[in-house]
Structure 1
Amino acid sequence: MLIRFILYGLGGWCGEILFTATRDRLRGRVHDWKLKGTTYLWMFPIYGSMVFLYEPLHDAIRTWPWILRGAIYMIGFFTVEYFTGWLLKRFTGSCPWDYAPWSRWSVRGYIRLDYAPIWFLLGLALEPLRDFLVRLTPMIQTALQ
């Protein structure tokens, strides 16, 4: 489980850096081709928590219709993003991804409702990745011994 926690954390970091670099370039926020993306150290344990939150949920609903699974994943991602944003603001004084200035679809700066299709599709896209990581974990454990 620790191995998948680390893999989800690293994968989330990489995905966020890729997303922010691409988004900023396409929206004209930056005018060079460095494609410099950003993330936060706080995000590693948040992404890593997928092993405890997403995996059991995936196992419980994997036979359900895809549209229902996607909707459940979307709600789950929104819930985790809102709750962790709220916790970070409460304990550190700020939420690193404050969406309030960027979107009229922001809910208290913690989530963006216009990201619903992204979370819906990401939840479904993670299903085969999750299965792959479960198969890969024993090989990594063997290699680390």
Structure 2
Amino acid sequence: MFIHRYIIYGLIGICLEIFWTGLESLLNNNYTMEAKTSVWMFFIYGLAVFFEPIHHKMKRINPMFRGLIYMILIYTVEFLTGGILKVLLGACPWNYTDWGSFYGLITLSFMPVWSALGFIFEGIHHGLDTIDMRLRV
């Protein structure tokens, strides 16, 4: 079950990233909406499976606080995995250069994006739990 969920989070993350970078292309007047990602991102997005116990513990907490926690967790994963890839490979799939960038690994401009992604993964987790309960009956 763990590996199945890891794969689901990884695939959904890749799809979201392709959609996001396609929209970014459109905003930069690339009407083909060319999108890009890296295979490494599948493995990184799959790590969202480790957020599931946190979702359970925080389900009754104020959404603003949950969004803050999700943002911090995603920044932590992004910083650590990006740093590991830089050490192992000499580069990582992203390189932020805007005003809030730290070592090119994270950017403060993504604060609302990472909060929203936390809620998206929370919803996916809830949906997966619902499916699992129905399959057990």
TM-score by length of 2: 0.90
> Which of 44, 48, 59 does residue 46 from structure 1 map onto?
44
Asked if residue 24 in structure 1 is aligned to residue 19 in structure 2, the reply is no
The 5-angstrom pairing of residues 59-70 of structure 1 reads 59-70=56-67
Q: CA RMSD in A?
A: 1.8
Q: CA deviation at 1:124?
A: 2.1
After the TM superposition, which parts of structure 1 deviate over 6 Å for at least 4 consecutive aligned residues? 138-141
Question: Which protein, 1 or 2, shows the higher relative CO under an 8 Å CA cutoff with sep ≥ 6?
Answer: 1
Is the 8 Å Cα contact of residues 48 and 121 (structure 2) preserved in structure 1?
no
Distance in 1, Cα, partners of 2:34 & 2:125: 28
Provide the aligned length of Structure 1 versus Structure 2. Answer: 135
Q: Which runs of 5+ in 1 are unaligned?
A: none
Letter in 1 for 2:115: F
Q: CA deviation at 1:122?
A: 2.1
For residue 84 of structure 2, what is the aligned residue in structure 1?
Answer: 87
Question: Identical aligned pairs, as a percentage?
Answer: 38
- Over residues 30-52 of structure 1, what are the superposed CA-to-partner deviations in whole Å (9 max), with x where a residue is unaligned? 2x32x221111111111111112
Distance in 2, Cα, partners of 1:4 & 1:137: 11
Letter in 1 for 2:12: G
Letter in 2 for 1:92: L
SS at match of 2:39: coil
Letter in 2 for 1:22: L
Distance in 2, Cα, partners of 1:105 & 1:122: 19
Assess, with a 3 A threshold, how the Cα gap between structure 1 residues 136 and 109 changes in structure 2: closer, same or farther.
same
Q: Which runs of 5+ in 2 are unaligned?
A: none
